Chain A
Amino acid sequence: MKYKNLMITLYYKVLFMSRQNPVRPGHPGGQLETLQEISDIKRIMERSSRFISLSGLSGIAAGLCALTGAYFANNILTDYYFEYNHSGYTDQNFESLKFKLLMVAGIVLAAALILSFIFTWRRAKQNHLPIWDLTARKLMWNILIPLISGGLFILAMLQYSEWRFVAPACLIFYGLALVNGSKYTLTDIRYLGYMEITLGLVNTQFTGHGLYFWAAGFGILHIIYGVLMWWKYERQPVKVNSH
Chain B
Amino acid sequence: MTYMKNPINGLNKVFDNRIRLGVMSVLMVNEEISFNDLKQMLEVTDGNLATHLVNLEDNGYIKVHKGFIGRKTNTTYAVTKAGEKAFSDHIAALENMIKGVK
A residues bordering B, Cβ < 8 Å? Answer: 1, 3, 6, 10, 13-14, 17, 20, 22, 24-26, 31, 34, 37-38, 40-41, 44-45, 47-49, 130, 133-134
Chain B 77-102 per-residue mask, 1 if CB under 8 angstroms from chain A, else 0: 00000000000000100110111010
Distance between Cα atoms of A47 and B22 in the complex (Å): 11
19 contacts between A and B (CB under 8 A): A3-B91, A6-B91, A10-B94, A10-B98, A22-B101, A24-B97, A31-B101, A34-B94, A34-B97, A34-B98, A37-B94, A38-B94, A44-B26, A44-B42, A47-B41, A48-B26, A133-B37, A133-B40, A134-B41
Contact indicator B30/A134 (Cβ below 8 Å): yes
How many residues of B are counted as interface, with CB atoms below 8 angstroms from the partner's CB atoms? 22
Are B95 and A133 in contact, CB atoms less than 8 angstroms apart? no
Per the bound structure, the CA–CA distance linking A47 and B40 in Å amounts to 11
Measured between alpha carbons, how far is A22 from B100 in the docked complex, in Å?
Answer: 10
Q: How long is the Cα–Cα vector from A48 to B30 in the complex, in angstroms?
A: 8
| In the bound complex, CA of A34 to CA of B42 (Å) | 19
Q: Which residues of A contact B33 (CB under 8 A)?
A: 48, 134
* Residues A134 and B25 in contact, CB atoms below 8 Å apart: no
Query: Are A41 and B29 in contact, with the CB atoms below 8 A?
Result: no
Contact partner, B40, options A1, A26, A31, A134, Cβ 8 Å: A134
**B97 cross-chain contacts in A, Cβ below 8 A:** 24, 34
Q: Which of B1-48 contact A (CB under 8 A)?
A: 7-8, 18, 21-22, 25-26, 28-30, 33, 37, 40-42
Question: Closest chain A residue to B4 by CB distance?
Answer: A22
Whole-angstrom CA separation of A31 from B22 in the bound complex: 19
A44 to B94, CA, bound (A): 17
Residues on B with C-beta less than 8 A from A25 are 7-8
Q: Is the CB of A40 within 8 A of B18?
A: yes
Alpha-carbon distance A40/B42, docked complex (angstroms): 11
Complex Cα distance A44/B43, Å? Answer: 11
Contact A40:B25 (CB < 8 A) given known A20-B101, A31-B101, A34-B98 = yes
* A10 contacts across to B, CB distance below 8 A: 94-95, 98
**With A and B bound together, what is the CA distance between A25 and B29 in angstroms?**
30
> Once bound together, how far apart are the Cα atoms of A197 and B21, in whole Å?
41
A89 CB, min distance to chain B CBs, angstroms: 54
Closest to B98 in A: A13
A223–B18 Cα distance when bound, in Å, is: 42
Taking the nearest CB of chain A, how far is it from the CB of B7, in angstroms?
A: 6
Contact call B29/A49, Cβ cutoff below 8 A = yes
The smallest beta-carbon distance between B47 and chain A, in angstroms, is: 20
Point out the residues of chain A lying under 8 angstroms from B94, CB to CB: 10, 34, 37-38
Q: Name the distance in Å between A158's Cβ and chain B's nearest Cβ.
A: 36
User: By CB atoms of chain A within 10 A, which of B8, B21, B95 has the most?
Assistant: B95
Q: How far is the CA of A34 from the CA of B8 in the complex (A)?
A: 11
In the complex, the answer to whether A3 meets B28 with C-beta atoms within 8 Å is yes
Nearest chain-A residue to B36 (Cβ)?
A134
User: Which residues of chain A come closer than 8 Å to B26, judged between CB atoms?
Assistant: 44-45, 48
Nearest CB in chain A to that of B102: its residue: A17
Supplied contacts A40-B18, A44-B22, A48-B33, 7 more A-B pairs, CB within 8 Å: A3-B91, A6-B95, A13-B98, A31-B98, A34-B97, A49-B30, A133-B40
